[in-house]
Every structure is written in structure tokens, then in C-alpha cells.
């Protein structure tokens, strides 16, 4: 009797092993179905590339991209699939993730089928083999175009296209830190349209809007260097933040804005003795080692603007 039990034991073990393997296979198939469901339905771009830039996997959401062809997308190189400038940014971030063996978070831009350029927030990370060597990269990208546009709108003045007071407050401390790091002088320039209330009362608000847009043009034309920032902070009040090598350089830039506006010869009967639209400008200077806060620096600029008004307007004052 015991011999028969011993003879049956290996068969029982095989049956149990078979059941276990079948259960694992079912679980794997279930996992694979979940995986493919996520790939097919997630509203994000998910792809992998080998170390030569060839796409080895891409989810169905890629069909929103311009020129997408399901039959040829997987197996093609990134430089075959996208315009060169687009491909360069995509491949640069893949290479960075692979070389540095870490996740890289970057904004990337691609064209959709309607030919519009969309911005994506992408995380790219390396895929490793059993020995820990990088064999490919994976990218997961989310379209942030609408959110980015909304963020830009929230800090942009609709009439002039300049950034608004909110953005001015955000950037002031950042620019002060940058100037300190670069050991350069930061200049705050405040600008006010002379007798603007009287202008609106006499010529009407549509003409007044044109004046404000012209002030913005003067700022754009003059302060067009990388790092120059211009703002409309309310009504006919404007501000600029920029670095310079000297007080004289900052004053010269302010004079260029004043001259540009005066040269337009926009009639303003109430602004005597000039008879046309003019600007008053006040400057405050922030040395690299200054410990003054935004409020104190702004007060200096405001006092300089007051002195410009007191001197008869159409003046730059420090």
C-alpha cells in the first residue's frame, strides 16, 4: 500500500506544478491585457527607443502626431520620423537619460495632425538589462499646451502684450539673485505717461489704449537684449528690469525710450508745454551686493519718478 502512495507522489507533484504554472500564465496574460489597455487608452505618449534612436515601441496615442504612420513608426529612426529640429531635441533628451543613467524631465515640442505645435512635459528614463547596463530609453509625455498657454495668459497684459504686475512680483527676486550671481548692477526703471487722465478725458479711451501700446513698442524696441524684462503694472504705469554695466548705460536706455515716445508726436493738448504725449521715467539702481528688498527698491524708483514729474515731465531722473 505504501509503495503505491510513493509511486503516485511524483505524479501529484507534477499536477500541482502544472496548476501553479497555469495560474501564473493566466496572471501574466491578465497583466499583459492591463498593460496593453493602459498603452492604448492612456492620453499620453509612451514610447521606447534603442541606443541608436530607433523607435522600438509606441502606444496608439501617437496617431495624433503629424505624419504618423502606424505601419512604419515602430522600427524607424527618430530623424526619419520628425523634422530635424524636432528630432534633435527629442534625441538629445534620450541621450542625456541614457548617458547619465537617470530620469530626465524636459519640455518638448511636436506638431499635431492639424499642423499646430504642441508642448509636452516629458520624462525620459533609461531601461537596464540584468547587468545594469543601459539598453534603451523610455519616454512618457503629457500635452501641457493649454496649461502653458493659460499660465502665460495669467501673467500677460492683454492690451500691450507686456507681462503684468503679477509677473513683475514673481521675477523681481529672481532677477536680483541673478544680478548678484553675475556681479552686475540691476536697474529698475519706472515709466509713467504724462497727464494720461487728461489725455483719456479729451481724446477718449480707444486713443488712450493706442498710447499705451505705443509705450510698449518703445520698450520692446529699446530693451530687446536677452534678460531685459518689461511690464505694464497698471493703468499708464510701466516698469522695466535689466542689468547694465553702469549708471550711464541705464540712463541712456531710459533716454532712448523717452526719445522714441516723443518722436511719435502724438497730439496731447493738455500736456503743455510739449503739446504731444511724453513720458516721465525714474531709475533705481541695485548693486550686486545690495541687501534691499523689493519694496525699498521700488520706493527708490517711485521717488525718482516723482522727481521727474517735479522737474517738468518728459524727463529721466535717478
Cα–Cα distance between 79 and 58 in angstroms, integer? 16
Residue owning grid cell 534691499:
292
- List 182, 192, 236, 259, catalytic entry: 236
Cα–Cα distance between 32 and 30 in angstroms, integer? 5
SS3 264: coil
Cα–Cα distance between 98 and 129 in angstroms, integer? 13
SS3 18: helix
Count Cα neighbours of 104 within 13 Å in the Cβ-side half-sphere. 23
**Residue 189: CB partners within 8 Å, gap ≥ 6?**
239, 240, 241, 242, 250, 253, 254, 257, 281, 282, 283, 301
Residue owning grid cell 504724462:
194
> Is 228 in the active site?
no
- Give catalytic residues, as residue numbers: 236
Amino acid at each position: 500500500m505504501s509503495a503505491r502512495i510513493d509511486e503516485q507522489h511524483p505524479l501529484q507533484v507534477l499536477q500541482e506544478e502544472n496548476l501553479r504554472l497555469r495560474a501564473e500564465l493566466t496572471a501574466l496574460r491578465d497583466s499583459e491585457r492591463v498593460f496593453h489597455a493602459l498603452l492604448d487608452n492612456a492620453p499620453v505618449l509612451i514610447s521606447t527607443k534603442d541606443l541608436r534612436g530607433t523607435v522600438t515601441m509606441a502606444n496608439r496615442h501617437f496617431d495624433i502626431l503629424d505624419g504618423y504612420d502606424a505601419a512604419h513608426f515602430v522600427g524607424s529612426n527618430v530623424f526619419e520620423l520628425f523634422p530635424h529640429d524636432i528630432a534633435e531635441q527629442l534625441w538629445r533628451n534620450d541621450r542625456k537619460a541614457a548617458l547619465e543613467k537617470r530620469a530626465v524631465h524636459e519640455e518638448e515640442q511636436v506638431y499635431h495632425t492639424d499642423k499646430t505645435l504642441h508642448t509636452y512635459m516629458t520624462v525620459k528614463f533609461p531601461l537596464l538589462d540584468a547587468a545594469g547596463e543601459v539598453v534603451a530609453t523610455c519616454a512618457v509625455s503629457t500635452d501641457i499646451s493649454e496649461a502653458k498657454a493659460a499660465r502665460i495668459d495669467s501673467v500677460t497684459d492683454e492690451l500691450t502684450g507686456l507681462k503684468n504686475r503679477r509677473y513683475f512680483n514673481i521675477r523681481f527676486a529672481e532677477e536680483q539673485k541673478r544680478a548678484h550671481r553675475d556681479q552686475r548692477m540691476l536697474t529698475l526703471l519706472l515709466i509713467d505717461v504724462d497727464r494720461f487722465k487728461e489725455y483719456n478725458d479729451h481724446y477718449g479711451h480707444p486713443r488712450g489704449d493706442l498710447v499705451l501700446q505705443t509705450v510698449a513698442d518703445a520698450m520692446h524696441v529699446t530693451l530687446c537684449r536677452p534678460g531685459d524684462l518689461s511690464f505694464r503694472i497698471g493703468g499708464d504705469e510701466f516698469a522695466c528690469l535689466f542689468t547694465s554695466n553702469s549708471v550711464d548705460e541705464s540712463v541712456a536706455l531710459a533716454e532712448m525710450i523717452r526719445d522714441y515716445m516723443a518722436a511719435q508726436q502724438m497730439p496731447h493738448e493738455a500736456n503743455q508745454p510739449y503739446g504731444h504725449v511724453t513720458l516721465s521715467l525714474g531709475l533705481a539702481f541695485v548693486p550686486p551686493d545690495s541687501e534691499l528688498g523689493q519694496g525699498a527698491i521700488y520706493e527708490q524708483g517711485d521717488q525718482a519718478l516723482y522727481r521727474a514729474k517735479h522737474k517738468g515731465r518728459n524727463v529721466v531722473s535717478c
